[in-house]
Chain A
Amino acid sequence: MGDDTLREMACQELVEVITDYLEGTLPKSDRARFDAHLATCSGCREYVEQMRALIRLSGSLTAKSIEPETRDSLLRAFQRWRDSQTRL
């Protein structure tokens, strides 16, 4: 007991638990070790920043949608559906 909470987190461990950290699912004791490590390690601070930057960049990717022909045929199907509804 106690050993784990005191043991310093190595950089090699940090890069494997970073997603749990960012997702907020890292156990409290590990979270404390993570934060303590970050405070002293510029390499890992950079790593965390890069992960956050990656997530932001991914968020600005535009989603690839369906083919325009599919979309057009769906809109036509909708119009037919609507017309059949009003006839009922």
Chain B
Amino acid sequence: MRVTNGPNESVVMVTTGDRTSETDLIDRLRNGDESAFTWLVDTYSPSLKRLALVFVSVDAVAEEVVQETWLAVLTGIGRFEGRSSLKTWLFKILTNRAKTRAVREKRTVRFSELGLEEEDGPAVSPERFLPSDHPSFPGHWSIPPHPWSGVAEQAVLRRETMEVLRRGLEKLPRLQRTVVTLRDVDGWPAHEVCAALELSEANQRVLLHRGRSRLRSILETYFAEDA
């Protein structure tokens, strides 16, 4: 066991999935290293809260669920055996607590209910394609995407564009928003999103597809107005 000298002795740098540094992180947590705890809280709280909001509808309740999760981590870390990754364990605690709260809120959420019936539609409006009985080019673009040509690269530097994207994301149906955020903003691999949300891989992809397609179209409109 490693003993640390103080809360700010070192900065914790771990990449998720790295078992050696994960063991180290768990040791430091058990030894009361505050920087290890702070790192975990800052790294995982955004995703935890997003995930909580899939189950409970009120922001403040989600916040409480996240808080309860971290407290449960503290009481449980001594017994944590590392059979799953710390991250998996963490999100399992969150999901269980969020579900309990949802029941208490009398708001049982079934994924089958809110998942795939969420707003269906084509990725791109059918009006932008030639009809399927077109003699030479059935289903081909009649109005192809307006080129962004580098616009998107400079866009990162522009707060307004990122705001358009953020608002677009907020407007997505709940599960689409959660999947797109965990995958593309937080950078989770598909299998972790499936596990956390109890989704099949196929359903996860459908949600990702719908969410991304919608966001692309929002940005296309924005860049076109901008041009």
User: Which B residues, 54 to 111, have Cβ-Cβ distances below 8 Å to chain A?
Assistant: 63, 66-67, 70-71, 74-75
**Chain B residues closer than 8 Å to A47, beta-carbon distance:** 144-145
Chain B's nearest CB lies how many Å from the CB of A20? 6
Tell me how many residue pairs across A and B have CB atoms closer than 8 Å: 148
Contact A61 B152 (CB under 8 A): no
Chain A's nearest CB lies how many Å from the CB of B103? 23
User: Which A residues, 31 to 63, have Cβ-Cβ distances below 8 Å to chain B?
Assistant: 41-44, 46-47, 49-51, 53-61, 63
Interface size on B, residues (CB 8 A): 57
A47→B213 CA distance, assembly (Å): 10
User: Would you call A4 an interface residue if the criterion is a C-beta within 8 Å of the partner chain's C-beta atoms?
Assistant: no
Contact B216 A51 (CB under 8 A): yes
User: Would you call B133 an interface residue if the criterion is a C-beta within 8 Å of the partner chain's C-beta atoms?
Assistant: no
A interface, size bucket: 35 or more
Contact B46 A65 (CB under 8 A): yes
Chain A's nearest CB lies how many Å from the CB of B212? 6
User: Would you call A23 an interface residue if the criterion is a C-beta within 8 Å of the partner chain's C-beta atoms?
Assistant: yes
Residue numbers of B with Cβ under 8 A of A are: 32, 34, 37-38, 41-42, 45-47, 49, 63, 66-67, 70-71, 74-75, 122-124, 126, 129, 132, 138-141, 144-145, 147-148, 152-153, 155-156, 161-162, 165-166, 169, 180-181, 184-187, 190, 201, 205, 208-209, 212-213, 215-216, 219-220
Residue numbers of A with Cβ under 8 A of B are: 10-13, 15-16, 18-20, 23, 25, 41-44, 46-47, 49-51, 53-61, 63-67, 70-71, 73-75, 77-79, 81-82, 85-86
Closest 7 CB pairs of A and B: A10-B139, A43-B144, A63-B46, A58-B184, A19-B209, A82-B32, A53-B152
Q: List 25 A-B contacts (CB under 8 A).
A: A11-B129, A11-B141, A16-B209, A18-B209, A19-B209, A44-B141, A50-B145, A51-B212, A53-B153, A54-B152, A54-B212, A54-B219, A55-B184, A55-B212, A57-B152, A61-B165, A65-B45, A66-B63, A70-B67, A73-B67, A75-B37, A75-B41, A77-B71, A79-B34, A86-B32
